[in-house]
Amino acid sequence: MPTLKCPVCGGPVEVPDDAMPGELIDHDCGVTLEVVKRDDGSIELRPFEGVGEDWGE
């Protein structure tokens, strides 16, 4: 299980070996991180900025 650095707080984030691009990981600092695959095949973490749930309102 690789350990990457949180881009927000700098703390360690353990990423599962089978993590897929687009997968979301909740970190201890309260941020949701998205697994992103780089061009060279490695992975990095970015703060998730996706759309939240829409309850039809």
Tell me the DSSP string of 3-52: EEE-TTT--EEE--TT--TT-EEE-TTS-EEEEEE-TTS-EEEEE-----
For residues 18 and 53, give the distance between their C-alpha atoms in angstroms, rounded to a whole number: 26
What pLDDT does 6 receive? Answer: 96
Instruction: Please state the rounded mean pLDDT for residues 32-51.
Output: 91
> Is residue 7 in some structural domain?
yes
20 in any annotated domain: yes
**52, part of any domain:** no
What is the pLDDT at residue 33?
96
User: Is residue 53 domain-resident?
Assistant: no
Domain residues for 37?
Answer: 3-47
57 in a structural domain: no
pLDDT at 52: 63
Residue 33 in any domain: the answer is yes
User: In Å, what is the CA distance from 48 to each residue of 35, 37, 53, 57?
Assistant: 9, 14, 14, 23
Find the CATH number of the domain harbouring 42.
Answer: 2.20.28.160
Is 8 domain-assigned?
A: yes
**Between 46 and 57, residue with greater pLDDT:** 46
Number of domains in the chain: 1
Structure tokens at 30: 């309260």
